[in-house]
Amino acid sequence: MVLKDKGYNSLADLEGKKIGYAFDGGLVDATIGTMMKKNGASIENVELINVGWSLSASLATGKVDAIYGGYRNFEMHQLSMEGFEGKAFFVEEEGIPPYDELVVVANSNKIDKEMLKKFNRALELATQYTVNHPDEAWELFKSYGDGNKLDTELNRLAWKDTLIRFALRPQAADLGRYDNYAQFLFDNGVIKTLPKATDYIVQ
């Protein structure tokens, strides 16, 4: 993400600039490097700065020229609320294989398959209800915990953007999608062995 009024029309325009990120683990170099390369640029020509989770603040104050790792349903709204207009370069449009964001992980040696079916069915029903009744679902969401701490303008805006991203069949898994992303991780040295989705995804 960048500030819209800075004139960055492609990621190549970020050469010589500073990019802030929130977490490490190899993904930063792999993802930014691939995105830059797709635009005829090089990660060697940018300065990467770990700004923790102060992503939008770092961008708004000019500490960095771009940020990587922000949530598309959150940081853009946060910037807007602070009086700035953001612009996003979406990873799936810049050479990164698309991937699922929320994945439930369990010990494959201890899975109760009947319980798993019930869990997945509950997820599906909850998703259907949320998509079909967004206002009622919001009321349930914001009432969680004490004192309606979730009832904020930022969360209300993020809620609307999150709805359109829900998988309507949350228990379905596109194995090819997982294999493609694993290949990306392997090719970029993030993982040392190449797994097959059929070996770790339980359906």
Amino acid of residue 69: G
Of the candidates 93, 127, 156, which is a domain's last residue?
Answer: 93
Q: Residue 195: inside a domain, yes or no?
A: yes
Q: What's the pTM value of the predicted model, to 2 decimals?
A: 0.89
- Among residues 85, 67, 73, which one has the least CA distance to residue 7? 85
Starting at the edge strand found earlier in the chain, the sheet holding 66-68 runs 47-50, 18-21, 66-68
pLDDT single digits (tens) 172-186: 889 999 999 999 999
* 26/81 same-domain check: yes
Query: Residue 103: what pLDDT?
Result: 83
Which CATH number fits the domain that encloses residue 85? 3.40.190.10
* 72/145 same-domain check: no
Of the candidates 34, 62, 93, which is a domain's last residue?
Answer: 93
**Measured distance CA(178)–CA(3) in Å, rounded:** 32
Q: How many domains does the chain have?
A: 2
* 86/130 same-domain check: no
**Measured distance CA(70)–CA(54) in Å, rounded:** 10
**Measured distance CA(22)–CA(76) in Å, rounded:** 15
* 61/143 same-domain check: no
**Tokens at residue 65, please?**
């020229």
Query: Residue 125: what pLDDT?
Result: 96
Query: Residue 106: what pLDDT?
Result: 84
Query: Residue 23: what pLDDT?
Result: 81
What range defines the domain where residue 30 resides?
A: 2-93
Residues of the chain with pLDDT under 70: 25
Q: Residue 103: inside a domain, yes or no?
A: no
* 35/88 same-domain check: yes
Q: Residue 102: inside a domain, yes or no?
A: no
* 132/61 same-domain check: no
Q: Residue 53: inside a domain, yes or no?
A: yes
Amino acid of residue 98: P
